[in-house]
Structure 1
């Protein structure tokens, strides 16, 4: 029995309880030094990307020292010995949660150096790729966060929706994860005939599912207690650490490249830049929830305005 300091000979439960009440209690100062714990890189919550050296005072993490570099693969050096399009498959692996976005980012950089501009249809297809990837990535973040905090139901909901997206990716590219769909100067192929109808169906089904995740977490006391005021990143620190995406916007900084420096055809879309205020885990969660709603808005507009024509530079 964890509350006793000596063996109790009597089997009488009343005697045991009385002995436990009389046993000396350990005060916090008697416990000793703080615990140092290595979390990762082989840990369900870190997925091999980093190691965290944690200092704990009971259940409170008082200090966290990151040890990064476990995924360094020298991609830039590898690229030096390749032709431009030969490197596209390597961009899939830069972020396996959003490979289509990485394909596009690399192609845009090379096209800018070449002075190329792809046709309007190709731009819209790339925008659709980027926003479906954003939803897929945010669903992974939301589901993993919920699971680590004990919300198994939300994890199952998010991965159900991700599976639908993977089916779309497979229809579009022939594979689910390492897509290699974009090429410098355009795309490897046009949209399949069934892609747009299936994307519309996904969007119709996804919005109620996202609202259900919102309902289950946003006002859940346990979830709020475990995220509000936790991991606060101030505006100044977010800038000093060169944060981007939801981590930057969650700290209250309204900076989104799609709005500040529009690429592809994002300047033709109506959407809101979502920002937080407190810079804590809760705000970053809220930003990702709302960003998925904005991605749905962008995708619906992209479907509506998808132009005809070619997809590659002539």
Structure 2
């Protein structure tokens, strides 16, 4: 198993200093090699990611990620609060896909309690509906900012425009645009607003042709292809050894998606494909493959949303008898056990480990398995031998959210 090299930073007011020195020192460098520090300067990473880059001219010899001190203290919050009060902190891991984070956490608690089969089907379809809408919104940020990173400004504006429709739907749903606290243990905060399903139908019809435009504007653009094809190639064995998941792993050619592998919630009842990288424009597992997987996943998420709407307007339509909070337990007190649950977030496998003592509704230990942390650790492996100008393209193709990396 490959060992990841990610170094932690400490933050103090007025300065930003490494808790340990760079792995590479000037007296260990070869002829013509030098150490460059990239970052921390990007506002979307909150100034917490530094890359220690060793170069020989413009060729990258090695890259070591240094993770800055963002530290959301999620795990310690979870170990001091009841399970149901932890959900707002779960939102702040991958804040671009908060519904997916909530879904994974809540399913884990429900399985510990043994109530997963008591959840009404309408509740399950609503959960999948909002999770897939959030997946599209998260991929839009990934694709739009990636195009911006390598010099294309217009796609970013177009994708933010279309993402805004999803955020407005979410705001209508529960009053928040990014951090929702909507999926609760045993149910939901509230049922869908009246007319929500019809509005979603309109959005699906609006977005389908926009995704075709996105492929033409970005993915199939000649300049974009030249900047991303055969760059940052991640071989499948390396991706597996580093524990990569999500589009990063599927871009390397493995059809591995927990929505199919674990078949949780109502996903086994839905029809959708799992896109993988095929080396269409370059080599399997390059930057282009990882991005085209995200675009194709947006198409598949729209298919899932459509099927959920069919159910929510059909067999599982709203009735006066439906109560989204009917199964919510008054006291969450699992038996003493060690338990791990996982789900497919927008960026890969998001998992939660719980240790309970059977006496309290507060876990003794809570641990988050971050997909972004594993995906980040592979940067050094796939950057060696690349041009320095391609390093930004490689970082962007991984799609990192630092709130999940430094938990």
TM-score by length of 1: 0.86
Find the aligned partners of 1:137 and 1:144 in 2 and give their Cα distance: 11
CA distance in 1, matches of 2:236, 2:290: 13
User: 2 CA distance for matches of 1:188 and 1:93?
Assistant: 18
Query: In the superposition, relative to structure 1, how do residues 106 and 70 fare at CA in structure 2: closer, same or farther (>3 Å)?
Result: same
- Higher relative contact order (CA closer than 8 Å, sequence separation 6+): 2
| Contact 1:42/1:48, CA 8 A, preserved across alignment | yes
The structure whose Rg is larger is: 1
Between the two proteins, the alignment pairs up a number of residues equal to 283
Cα pair 1:119 1:313 within 8 Å, conserved: no
* Counterpart residue number, 1:201: 202
Does 1:73 pair with 2:72? yes
Contact 1:116 1:313 in 2 (8 A): no
Distance 1:49 1:303, change over 3 A: farther
Alpha-carbon distance in structure 2 between the residues aligned to 1:157 and 1:173: 25
CA distances 1:234-270 after superposition (whole Å, capped 9, x unpaired): 1111111111110010011111011111111000000
| CA shift in 2, pair 1:174/1:283, >3 Å | same
Counterpart in the other structure of 1:210: 211
In the alignment, the residues of structure 2 paired with residue 147 and residue 88 of structure 1 have an alpha-carbon distance, to the nearest angstrom, of 32
Report the Cα offset of residue 137 of structure 1: 0.7
Pair 1:102-2:80 in alignment: no
Q: 1:168 & 1:45 partners in 2: Cα distance?
A: 24
Q: After superposition, what is the alpha-carbon deviation per residue over 1:30-84, rounded to whole angstroms, capped at 9, x for unaligned?
A: xx83443222233257443522112344544343211125333331221122111
Q: 2-side partners of 1:213 and 1:57: how far apart?
A: 37
Unaligned stretches of 5+ residues in structure 2: 1-30, 279-283, 328-407
- In the other structure, the counterpart of 1:9 is none
Q: Call closer, same or farther: CA 1:70–1:281 in 2, change over 3 Å.
A: farther
Tell me, in whole angstroms, the C-alpha distance in 1 between the residues paired with 2:272 and 2:48: 32
Any conservation in 1 of the 2:32–2:57 contact (CA below 8 Å)?
Answer: no
Runs of 4+ in 1 over 4 A off after TM superposition: 44-47, 57-60
State TM-score, norm by structure 2. Answer: 0.67
Aligned to 2:324: 311
- Residue 335 (structure 2) aligns with: none
Q: CA RMSD in A?
A: 1.7
1:286 paired to 2:292:
yes
Query: 1: distance between equivalents of 2:48 and 2:267?
Result: 31
Partner of 1:63: 62
Deviations 1:122-153 (A, max 9, x none): 10000011101110110000001000111111
Is the 1:92–1:102 contact (alpha carbons within 8 Å) kept by the matching residues of 2? Answer: yes
The 8 Å contact of residues 100 and 134 in structure 2, kept in 1 or not, is answered as yes
Instruction: Name the residue aligned to 1:155.
Output: 156
**Structure holding more helix per residue:** 1
- In structure 2, how many angstroms separate the alpha carbons of the residues matched to 1:49 and 1:248? 24
Partner of 1:168: 169
Secondary structure of 1:202's partner? helix
Tell me which residue corresponds to 2:378: none
Greater share of strand: 2
Once the two structures are superposed, residues 255-297 of structure 1 have per-residue CA deviations (whole angstroms, 9 ceiling, x without a partner) of 1011111111000000001111311100001100100000000
2:35 & 2:263 partners in 1: Cα distance? 45
Does the 8 Å CA contact 1:40/1:46 hold for their aligned counterparts? Answer: no
SS in 1 for 2:60: strand
Of residues 247-256 and 35-44 in structure 1, the stretch that sits farther from structure 2 once superposed is 35-44
